[in-house]
A and B are shown apart, each in its own frame.
Chain A
Amino acid sequence: MPKSGWFWKGISNGLVLVAAAVTLVSCESADKAPATAAITAAQGAIDAVKGEAAKYVPDQLSALEGTLASAKASFEKQDYKAALASAQDVAAKAKDLGSAAAAKKAELAKSWEGLSGGLPQMAEAIKSRVDILSQSKKLPAGLDKDKLESAKAGLASLNQSWTEASAAFQSGNMTDAIAKAQAAKAKAVECMTALNMPVPEAAK
């Protein structure tokens, strides 16, 4: 090949490389704006449901925030395609997160409605029975003094849990309120069983 041929081939190869580099850079630049917009949208979508999600589905919120952090990390590394994909995924899942939080809130509200109506009745029935049995000269079959004392302590514990549950509910902490009310219910069931009282169907 003549010298001039080598010269032009070199020029040609150089141009191809430059063109490839320009194409790559322009592609990256083309992905950067959508990735930026997607991350902003994803952040906004999370912020919109964060308040309720943190209360009712904190684990799901945490997972989604992790995905968003991953999208931001990809963006920092200039991997805009990965950042875009992750951020779009977050935005879609944030809507599901809002629905999940609303569903959990409704479920807890329904539980609270039942517990707040039923537990005072159970506590009242136990107190009545404990008061009467405390006046008895001889305890009935299946019940001894130790069991009665244990039931009295259980009643005090149930009342304490119920007071705490009510306070948690008043302060808007529904999850804690339900947990404490469930503890009170378990104690009520234990007391009623020890006292040979039938346990309400809803508490079983």
Chain B
Amino acid sequence: MAIIKKSGKSLVPRNIEVMVIPFVLITVLIILSILVAKIGISKVNSQREKLAVAQKDETIFKQKQEILQEVQGEVLSLADLSASAVPNKNPALAVISQLKNLASSRSVVLSNLQVGSKSGTEKGMSKVDISFDVDGDFSSVLDFLQDTSKIAPISQIEKIEINQAVGVTRANTTLVSFWAPFPKKLPPLTEPAKDLSVEELSLIRSLSELTPPAFLEMTPSAPSAREDPFTF
């Protein structure tokens, strides 16, 4: 005011002087509004984005929890069933055991069993060839061969050569069985869980009709207390 007033008389015209305060107020208001709008809106937007992500994650977690709780009771048997169909190790032994059981139930004779002369990998799956001869009457041999598709681990017949002589049928068969390593890691926590689809459920139903192998895994028994052989 010292500048604009000199010896008690204002240097600024009165007309302008009365306009100063409203202009200053409006300028301050505009500056504040711009600042608040800039900072506030960006803050609100970032918080809203965070909230949207959090709510999406929450929905995923909730859905995952519900699915897991829903399948909790039955998933153990399903896991056993599916693992017996496609095991994580070479299933040759289990398949041979199944074939032998099948042969005795169909009254045919199994011979020349050979395993794995030609094994390979296909789309993440390993396969092993099992070849054998099966002797019996024509009908029983065909029944036996048909039944190979009803055993677990799942196997497929590559080729069959059937020869008949004097009422005895011999089928030289090559069968392929499959295995694949188990998945090593779980999907990320934020990945939505998928329940078993209708197609998967129908696959499970068809797997449940397969004859499981008589042995799956031999678990070592826990050490037991040894009795003293010298006490009578």
> Is this pair of chains taken from one and the same complex?
no
